[in-house]
Chain A
Amino acid sequence: MKILVAVKRVIDYNVQIRVKEDGSGVVTENVKMSTNPPDDNAIEEAVKIKEAGKATEIVAITIGEEKAQETVRKALAVGADRGIHIKADGILEPLAVSKILQKIVEKEKPDLVFMGKQAIDDDCNQTGQMLSALLNWPQATFASKIEVKENSLEVTREIDEGLETIEVNIPAIVTCDLRLNEPRYASLPNIMKAKKKPIEEINATDLGVDTAPRVEQIKIEEPPKRKAGIKVANVAELVQKLKNEAKVI
């Protein structure tokens, strides 16, 4: 069984982002970048499945500028076998990304495609579902547990009401929740070994996919700031303020 795992390079989750003054976007220069957190869970799950002898090959793929390749290299260091870097500049919307992934799926013919449920930069939560639609494959979104069966997966999904369990036939798409597993760190020897693993580079333009954005970004701005609050000295003062000042209890 072959698993394709899609990873995205985003501003690190610990960074407090800054909005550019001209309203054109957020500052990305000299800002720490890393793999989108739930994409790390997607890689980890694929590696665990391979370690359990249920997968034979893991291919990590990313789409984006030159430096996006770092995320593939990191995936190789934790256990992916080879990488694919689709080179593309500028804003890529989930629709464009899923069309590119569709082309690669048609070429690579994986049995499963894993990715994070949501990218923490644009917060769209679309790509996995869109790819499933384009391929007409089943989709197991927001997965917090995956059990590999003969020709299917049993997936526990995190939903607003609690948990839902579904069974999807292979081939299938899974989008991963942060609670799916605990991503491992790459060891130094594995980081060294990863440098020798192959990464195939493909230009997005060669895939015949129109990646031009459909949604215009008119303006990016800072959200309204909250008024500074106060520290209260003790519980009695807190309750008194809530009762008489804020009038919420």
Chain B
Amino acid sequence: MAVLLIAEHNNNNLKAFTLNAVTAASQIDQDVHAIIIGHDCGDASKKLSELPAIKKVICVDAPHYENFTAENFAPVIIKASENYSHIVCSANTFGKNLMPRIAAHLDSSQVSDIIKVISPDTFLRPIYAGNAFATVKTNDSKKCITIRPTSFDPCESSGGSATIENAEAGEEFKSTKFIKREEVKSDRPELGTARIVVSGGRGMQSGDNFKLITQVADKLGAAIGASRAAVDAGYISNDHQVGQTGKVVVPDLYIAIGISGAIQHLAGMKESKIIVAINKDGEAPIFSVADYGLEADLFEAIPQFMEELNKLNTIQK
């Protein structure tokens, strides 16, 4: 049986990680269908139908799907799931919120946050903040899987022409009401997909000092990350948090500044290709995962770093 992929989108566009989830779904079975639920989401469903890996798109469009409430989404997906062996979605806050609600209804024991498809029923997933990897096999007839998007490459995004089938909307779940969403808009690359991430921790000492991180990020065309300590202290907003309960990032270059490197932070960045740590405490655990460690006071090191970067003729962005 085919795999049903749940598309994440904003009604106009697909969210970038939907493409990574498609790759994971195709590794489970070549026959991938996608379901898109939203309001006035014709543009996003068209883009979904253009992914060559998708054989069919099921589109469910109604006003009460505008804000992606799991309580509204779950019944529609459960209804559509009849003809599928697997239901797949990204393990970001959208998928984490939604998938267990589906799995429980289907009496299926969900497998969360997989980083590798070993076979259609066997997967690799990190546990204990990535300090152990578990190979798990699910025997449920309907398998509910969330995937860690950064562990799969994005699929080809154009050239396909899957049929789009409209399906009937379900009832509205009246006990949950959406009020508002506060998104932080920025011209910088997205944290989850950026090639370079510059992160600050408690060592930054204030929200004002976090401007130093911004400077470096702007120079390198990088996204801005933060440790939980920095977010808790109010230096920067929660959407920048990297770690076990924040975002997992796998950039080519991760620069950790004033971050000690608690297990929970390492869980979110230690798969990065190159890791740089700048910290005045030479014993800080961050140095154990750093390719290049600089033991220095960050308030002296960052201005010097900017100066050196300015000397370079070209910086790849």
Judging by beta carbons under 8 Å apart, are B244 and A213 in contact?
no
A53 interfacial contact with B, CB 8 Å:
no
Q: Which of A95, A120, A231 contacts B294 (CB 8 A)?
A: A231
- Please state if A249 and B128 are interface contacts (CB–CB under 8 Å): no
Shortest B100–chain A CB gap in Å is 4
The answer to whether A142 touches B97 (Cβ under 8 A) is yes
The interface bits of chain A over 206-243 (1 if a CB of B lies within 8 angstroms of the residue's CB, else 0) are 00000001111111111100110111101110110111
- From residue 115 to 139 of chain A, which have CB atoms closer than 8 A to chain B? 117-118, 120-134, 137-139
Determine which residue in A38, A179, A220, A238 has the highest number of CB atoms from chain B within 10 A of its CB, and name it. Answer: A238
| Interface residue B206 (Cβ < 8 Å from any Cβ of A) | no
Interface residue? A71 (CB, 8 A): no
Q: How far is the CB of A28 from chain B (nearest CB, A)?
A: 11
Q: Which residues of A contact B282 (CB under 8 A)?
A: 231
Q: Judge whether B132 and A230 touch: CB under 8 Å.
A: no
**B308–A239 CB distance below 8 A:** yes
| A35 → B minimal CB distance (Å) | 16
CB of B287 within 8 Å of the partner chain: yes
Interface: A70 (CB within 8 A): no
Contact residue among B181, B232, B294 (Cβ-Cβ distance under 8 Å from A238): B294
Inter-subunit contact A154/B315 (CB<8 Å): no
Report yes or no: A95 in contact with B132, Cβ–Cβ below 8 A: no
Please name the residue on chain A nearest to B92 by beta carbon.
A160
B109 A95 Cβ-Cβ under 8 A:
yes
Interface stretch, picked from A1-9, A75-83, A163-171, A185-193, is A163-171
Task: Across the interface, name the chain B residue whose C-beta is closest to A218.
Answer: B135
| A52 contacts chain B at the CB level, 8 A cutoff | no
Say whether A162 faces chain B, with CB atoms less than 8 Å apart: yes
B105 within 8 A of A: yes
B253 touches A219 (CB 8 A): no
Assembly CA distance A94 to B113 (angstroms): 14
Known: A17-B128, A166-B179, A248-B196. A126 touches B112 (CB 8 A): yes
Contact, CB under 8 Å: A125 / B96: yes
Instruction: State whether A26 touches B132 (Cβ < 8 A).
Output: yes
CB–CB B136/A215 < 8 A: yes
Q: How far is the CA of A249 from the CA of B306 in the complex (A)?
A: 13
B173 close to A138 (CB less than 8 A): yes
Report Cα–Cα, A235/B216, bound state, in Å: 13
> Given A169-B175, A178-B245: A125 and B112 within 8 A (CB)?
yes
Q: Judging by beta carbons under 8 Å apart, are B127 and A235 in contact? A: no
Given the interface contacts A137-B175, A246-B274, does A231 sit within 8 Å of B293 by beta carbon?
A: yes
* Binary interface encoding of chain B residues 169-189 relative to chain A, with 1 for a CB under 8 A from any of its CBs, else 0: 000011111111111100000
Partner of B276, one of A128, A167, A215, A242: A242
Whether A249 touches B309, Cβ cut-off 8 Å, given contacts A162-B183, A164-B180, A238-B294, is yes
**Cβ of A94 and Cβ of B110 under 8 Å apart?**
yes
Q: Is the CB of B112 within 8 A of A160?
A: no
Segment among B18-26, B27-35, B137-145, B156-164 that sits at the interface with chain A: B137-145
Q: How far is the CA of A241 from the CA of B253 in the complex (A)?
A: 12
- Residue B212 at the A interface, CB < 8 A? no
B104 contacts the other chain (CB 8 A): yes
Complex: how many Å from CA A133 to CA B103?
9
The residues in B between 258 and 303 inclusive whose CB is less than 8 angstroms from any CB of A are 263-264, 270, 273-276, 282, 287, 289-296, 301
Q: In the bound complex, do residue B264 and residue A248 qualify as a contact, i.e. CB atoms below 8 Å apart?
A: no
Known: A123-B128, A179-B238. A161 touches B274 (CB 8 A): no
Q: Is A141 an interface residue (CB 8 A)?
A: yes
A142–B93 touching, CB < 8 Å: yes
A25 to chain B, nearest CB (A): 8
Question: In the complex the two chains form, is B316's CB within 8 Å of A217's CB?
Answer: no
With both chains docked as a complex, state the minimum distance between the C-beta of B130 and any C-beta of chain A, in angstroms.
6
CB proximity to B under 8 Å, residues A13-45: 13-14, 16-17, 19, 26, 38
Shortest CB distance B274–A (Å)? 5
Of all chain A residues, which has the CB nearest B290? Answer: A229
Contact mask for chain A residues 89-122; partner B; CB cutoff 8 A; 1 contact, 0 none: 0000111101000000000000000000110111
Q: Is B64 an interface residue (CB 8 A)?
A: no
Q: How far, in angstroms, from A168 to B101 measured CA to CA in the complex?
A: 16
Contact A95 to B108, CB < 8 A, known contacts A215-B136, A231-B287: yes
Query: Given B70, B183, B196, B295, which contacts A139 in the complex, CB threshold below 8 Å?
Result: B70
Additional 10 contacts, C-beta under 8 A, given A26-B132, A158-B93:
A123-B126, A129-B101, A133-B74, A178-B228, A178-B245, A217-B135, A223-B132, A231-B294, A248-B274, A249-B312
Q: Across chains A and B, which 4 residue pairs bring their CB atoms closest together, nearest first?
A: A129-B100, A214-B109, A130-B104, A133-B104
A-B contact pairs, 20 of them (CB 8 A): A14-B263, A26-B128, A26-B132, A95-B104, A95-B109, A129-B70, A131-B104, A166-B69, A166-B178, A167-B176, A178-B232, A179-B231, A219-B134, A220-B135, A226-B275, A229-B290, A230-B291, A231-B292, A231-B295, A236-B308
